[in-house]
Chain A
């Protein structure tokens, strides 16, 4: 009888410990979710209606080549990269990957509330004569994989993680990087099939460009690429 009582007590203890562990894990998961929700919400609030990640100027057009100077800017407006490139062709294309921030939140009210917020990641500059896969890279990242144009001194770790997750998801969607292992609800962007509710819209590329014979970028003038929160990208004279 005493043996049975001991065994029962032992089993109850094990059940209690297991329950406590499960509750601790659940609490940890909920805490991580809350952190992610807070990061995404504050990130959405931080992103302004429009921002300028890139400015450029045509240095020369001669012999069927375009020489262009490009400067990248972070969220604080600081220049983070400067480069010059000689590209064959007449029309310059500035290619971005555009991804919904809501994709990082998966289903639920948060996902829906972020549905109108899009992040545009610079990817490559190419021309009408130079295909995109041979273009000039304008998507540098820091050591943690965060695109430099989304750097900011005031970003929290959660916000940086959210941006990284959206960026990695966009790359994976385009087959430019392996799909992240964990799913969206765990805090990472997953494969296209698990990428949040469909009505959030999917990742797509958008290359803004001049049109030969219609609208040409004038050498010597500075142009800025304006990325709007709703996903629109436009080139304007600075």
Chain B
């Protein structure tokens, strides 16, 4: 049954879209008016040609007043014909309204089902991501003359170090690592839990304003934070393909609040910049916590 309905949907949607365009938009109404005018002009032209032929057959010219009368008569006839078919036209209008309503309802139903699937996939995606994650090791390589150099070594989703380190040199004596934190609320979905995902994106200092800070190279070529790319074997509750697709949605949430709110699972977006004094030789690790944004922890020798 649903397959049959699905087969008819494109036709129904096309009909509904066409009717909706013609009767509810200014361009559609202009098209309709143009069609009516063309039909009226064709009918009047036909009547005038017929009268001219009759006049020629009778050996007399068709006078303008006569032509005007013929045109008026034809237009009147058209109006009368329109009036006698009002019930048919009303029926047609009703059918079109019903078609538009049915198509709209079906579309909303489709959207509802799709949104439910999407929310379920997003929820599964966030649950896969919400584990505590090591984002980067930071080493303060040097600090002198009111400047410091820090080296960031990033981690992939499977916990392995990414070989290319990033060096950041800033003026000042405190290193700030800034992140966007996206708080997901599940209250409307299931268990009322909350979860945060964070995307560190820039470094600045106590002397360098945030707007003049250095960008952190944490995104991969698809714009997804490297630490959120998980190996397929670690995923649960969602297929790898869907996880990859939803992961891009989640990454988009961290860049676009409108998209985040539209998805219906985001409670708030804000920035959090954690910071520590940049002393030479100091090493610390930046973590994205499952529930607490980002934190800095000392590096420990075990």
Residues of A within 8 A of B (CB): 89, 91, 93, 95, 126-133, 173-175, 198, 201-202, 204-211, 214-215, 228, 230-236
Contact = CB atoms under 8 A, between A and B. Distances in A.
Given A89-B209, A129-B209, A131-B207, A215 B273 contact: no
B122 to A, nearest CB: 18
Contacts of B296: 202, 204
Given A201-B298, A214-B180, A214-B255, A133 B207 contact: yes
Interface of B, secondary structure class, is strand
B271 A211 contact: yes
Contacts of A235: 270
A232 B293 contact: yes
A55 to B, nearest CB: 16
A75 to B, nearest CB: 22
A209 B207 contact: no
A130 B205 CA distance: 11
Nearest to B291: A232
Contacts of A126: 209
Interface stretch (B22-30, B170-178, B185-193): B170-178
B259 to A, nearest CB: 10
Nearest to A135: B206
Contacts of A173: 277
Interface in B254-302: 255-257, 268-277, 291-293, 295-298, 300
15 contacts: A89-B211, A91-B271, A93-B273, A129-B211, A130-B209, A131-B204, A201-B297, A204-B275, A205-B174, A205-B274, A209-B272, A215-B271, A228-B292, A232-B291, A232-B292
Given A131-B206, A209-B270, 5 more contacts: A93-B271, A174-B174, A202-B276, A206-B273, A207-B272
A127 B275 contact: no
Contacts of A93: 210, 271, 273
B257 A231 contact: no
Nearest to B204: A131
A234 B269 CA distance: 10
Contacts of B257: 214-215
A175 B292 CA distance: 26
B273 A131 contact: no
A82 to B, nearest CB: 24
Given A91-B210, A132-B206, A234-B270, A211 B180 contact: yes
Given A206-B272, A230-B292, A233-B272, A128 B210 contact: yes
A211 B269 contact: yes
A128 B255 contact: no
Contact of B270 (A174, A198, A211): A211
A233 B268 CA distance: 13
A41 B204 CA distance: 37
A207 B178 CA distance: 9
